[in-house]
Structure 1
Amino acid sequence: MTSYRNSDPRPPIMEGAPPQLVPTREDWDRPPWNRWAFQNIRQILPTAEVWRGEDPVRQLPRKEQDLDALPVTSVEGAATTLAGLLDETYTDGFIVLKQGAVVYERYFNGMTPRTLHLSQSVAKSVTAATAGVLVGKGLLDVKAHVTHYIPELNDTAYRGATLQHVLDMRSGVTFDETYTDPYSDIGQLDVSSGWKPVPPGSGPNFRWPRHVFEQVLGLGKLECRHGERFSYRSIETEVLGFCMERATGKRLYQIVSDELWQPMGAEQSASFTVDAVGSSLADGGFNACLRDYARVGQLYLDNGGGIIPHDWVEATRSGIHDPAAPPSPSLPQGSYRNKWWIEDPRTRSIYARGVFGQMIYVNWDYGIVAAKLSSWPDFLSTPFNIATQAALHAIGRHLA
């Protein structure tokens, strides 16, 4: 069964009593199942609550505009509208804030304002935002070696890497991020995190890590010197998360709750998926509602909002731009710092991005924050990213 857009007939996934169309454990995150699964992770995997606390919700004023008919460019390069592009890119939720006020908010595919949606690698940016709070409190030092926090890493390829190296994905550790290969390092992370079972037919001599920390301890090869170059390694965020846990004596879901989610005035409690020993999946297992993703972006637009240190926000916008080796095909002038993607060295606007179309965008020139949650039929799509990025600029110009 192929995937479906919001304008297509919707198959009855997990409908009925009992349901007839049920995602399997092997394929729940693949199309078309991801169109249901990304909004229903707690029915699939064990999770730990990121409590929003009892303080008042940070209100988002409403200054709404109907942007449905705003002219933008389609994925194929033709003229379309914003509403058309949101359909074309399998959108589940989309919100735009201008100077902290909601100007546009849309939900599709059964999503509601209360729905928690899987963020994939946007989780990296949320984790790093929380790390910035800990740095500001003196509990973490980005110049310290990761072995200062986790001595066991002395026996791995992470020996000699700093916390800043893992924040910027410049550790030099060998990690294969081939999403479609179940035996790659990222495929093994699917198993160690509890997202997937051991693949059927796996050889008896292949040793699968039992949990994420065990997988980290098994990384023993370097592909280059620490700090030499950027290479996207999801496991770096797990190392960061474990350093945060050792520095505070708390589990990651508690740290994010105490240091970010509660002070931010989140609207809903969030959640992390957890592995067999209760470790939160820092690199991709975070789930939250659409408005709360926008609130995270607003903290950055507000230069920390009194929660994240201003210096951390400024550092996050100051990546190392290498024209010969851009970090992403859709960001030819881009760079990467503190688990955020920097659009270009002039605007220094930033993206949190996750596979299958998750995104938070912060642009200081326009004064806007946008969050987009999706369930694409493919892990990665440069055309989808480019069209969405162009639409965000069209929105920013329109609202200027």
Structure 2
Amino acid sequence: MTNISPLRDPTAPGNPLIPRQDWDRAPWNRWTFQHVRELLPTTPVLRGGGAASVLPSNLQDIDAISFAAEGQVHSIGSFLETNYADGLLVLHGGKIVAERYLNGLTPHTQHLSQSIAKSIVGTLAGILIGRGVVDPVAAVTQYLPELEATAYRGATVQHVLDMTSGVVFDETYTTHDSHMAQLDVASGWKDRRNPTWPTSVWDLILSLKDLECPHGTSFRYRSIETDVLAFVLQRATATPLAELVSRELWVPMGAEEDAYFTVDAAGYALGDGGFNATMRDYARFAMLHLRGGEIDGRRIVPTEWIAGTRFGADPTLFGGIYQEVLPAGAYHNQFWIEDAARGVYMARGVFGQLIYIDPETDFAAVVLSSWPEFVSTIRMKTTLAAVSAIRGALSLQ
């Protein structure tokens, strides 16, 4: 693996090159989020040999829909042009009603999901929990006894599903010595800056020794929790994560294209953010949730788990900075709950990745992006306002 990769036409002399340490940052991410397997080691999530599940279309012009956000009036067309969108797909009434590809994205291009991957892993957990393979109230150490020597001692599987363990994990994206910076290195996304840092995701988990609060008392967004969950699922099934996602979700869902994960030096598929898939297959994942765990008449995810995800969160554990974007929200089963009363929920990732799911109105939207910022409250609020405006306009038809 080389330390640099061409940003544009590799045959062009003097072409700009991507710095290894900044491949996922602006402006490089406008290209790299669609070309991750050209930059990092990956493992496939195979779709199998069956037919793709049907996504009928009834395309409509949504560009003129207007909405207000953060004191400004926008249209969907202007939003797509100015918000670093790479793609937008809208589902309503079981059909694709809008499908837009931008910034070189095509129907066959796999796009980095960032933390949408967490909801993929969460859904896989729901499948295995429904089958009795994993017990959500069991201690994490029942599956991973090595963690008795870490701060995860006493935490349950549900605690990591909800990110309510009390383990100290500094999620800061922009500092060079945070746990998140160490995770970038451990996952193989970045080169090591400190020779003492863990060299794999598993080793990073084993290094987490400190508690900030008792397990189950407060939500804190910790990407590493998804990786702990993924190791639980792998240990319970004796199957690598990418193979599990393929067997339990991607093949039965009727995905149209293979997906893939990035992998660390030990071969672990990065469950917290390394998943890549096409926009239509992200839409199939959304359709699976809209249909309560079924697609094309096939039951894949237990109805009870979907309902529990939508309505089973404890909003009292959710507060602080998280309520700035989601004032009526919560977090549960690796999904963000936008509206705990209506059961509207989302998969979200940094740099503007979103799968928005509203079963009550039979509406979902996939937004793939390459923002210049890791997180932006203004951009996120604008994106949610745009999605809400589309939903409102479609509901009037």
TM-score by length of 2: 0.94
1:356 aligns with 2:351: yes
The 1:323–1:383 alpha-carbon spacing in structure 2 relative to 1, beyond 3 Å, is farther
1:16 Cα deviation from its structure 2 partner:
3.6
CA distance in 1: counterparts of 2:156 and 2:12, whole angstroms: 51
Q: Deviations over 1:131-178 (max 9, x none)?
A: 111111111110010001011001100000000000000010000001
What is the aligned counterpart of 1:222 among 208, 211, 216? 211
- Aligned-partner Cα distance in 2 for 1:191–1:135: 31
**Partner Cα separation in structure 1 for residue 152 and residue 10 of structure 2:** 49
Secondary structure, counterpart of 2:127 in structure 1: helix
May I ask how many residue pairs the two structures share in their alignment? 383
Residues 13-22 or 78-87, more deviating: 13-22
Moved over 6 A (4+): none
Asked if the contact 1:366–1:397 (Cα under 8 Å) also holds between the matched residues in 2, the reply is: no
Aligned residue for 2:143?
149
Indicate the RMSD between aligned Cα atoms, in angstroms. Answer: 1.3
Q: Which has the higher helix share?
A: 2
Q: Evaluate the alpha carbon distance shift between residue 370 and residue 150 of structure 1 in structure 2; reply closer, same or farther with a 3 A threshold.
A: same
Contact 1:347-1:364 within 8 A present in 2 as well: no
The residue number in structure 2 matching 1:272 is 261
Does the alignment pair 1:17 with 2:11? yes
**What are the within-5 Å matches in structure 2 for residues 1-400 of structure 1?**
13-17=7-11, 20-73=15-68, 76-199=70-193, 202=194, 207-305=196-294, 306-317=299-310, 318-322=312-316, 325=319, 327-400=322-395
Pairwise CA distance, 1:323: 8.7
**Offset, 1:324:** 7.6
- Between the aligned partners of 1:324 and 1:263, the Cα distance in structure 2 is 34
For the residue of structure 2 that corresponds to 1:159, the secondary structure is: coil
Helix, strand or coil: the match of 2:248?
Answer: helix
Mapped contact 2:30–2:370 kept (Cα < 8 A): yes
230-239 vs 12-21, which deviates more?
Answer: 12-21
Q: Deviations over 1:219-255 (max 9, x none)?
A: 0000000001000100000000000000011100000
Consecutive unaligned residues of structure 2, counting only runs of 5 or more, are: 1-5
Is the contact made by 1:323 and 1:332 (CA closer than 8 Å) also made in structure 2?
no
Q: Within 2, Cα distance between the matches of 1:346 and 1:288? A: 31
Unpaired runs of 5+ residues, structure 1, are 1-11
Instruction: Give me the whole-angstrom Cα distance separating, in 1, the residues matched to 2:279 and 2:34.
Output: 11
Q: State whether residues 318 and 329 of structure 2, in contact with CA within 8 Å, keep that contact through their aligned partners in structure 1.
A: no
Q: Deviations 1:181-200 (Å, cap 9, x if unpaired)?
A: 1210010000000000013x
- Deviation per CA, 1:328-348: give whole Å up to 9, x if none: 421011000001011122211
Equivalent residue letter for 2:165: S
**Residues 324 and 236 (structure 1), Cα distance of their counterparts in 2 relative to 1, 3 Å cut:** closer
Q: Equivalents in 1 of 2:318, 2:45: separation in Å? A: 40
Deviations 1:261-319 (A, max 9, x none): 00000011000000001001000000000011111111111111111111110111121
Letter in 2 for 1:363: D
Supply the distance in 1 between the matched residues of 2:7 and 2:328 (Cα, whole angstroms).
41
Q: Report the identity percentage.
A: 50
Query: Closer, same or farther in 2 for the Cα pair 1:144/1:290, shift >3 Å?
Result: same
Is the Cα–Cα contact under 8 Å of residues 315 and 329 in structure 2 kept in the other structure? yes
Provide the rounded CA distance (Å) in 1 between the counterparts of 2:23 and 2:29. Answer: 6
Q: Distance in 2 between matches of 1:96 and 1:129?
A: 21
Contact 1:238 1:282 in 2 (8 A): yes
- Does structure 2 conserve the Cα–Cα contact (< 8 Å) formed by 1:351 and 1:362? yes
- 1:95 and 1:374 map into 2 onto residues whose CA distance is 12
Amino acid at match of 2:341: R
**In structure 1, distance between residues paired with 2:62 and 2:317:** 35
| Alpha-carbon distance, 1:104 to partner | 0.1
AA paired with 1:258? R
TM-score by length of 1: 0.93
Partner of 2:3: none
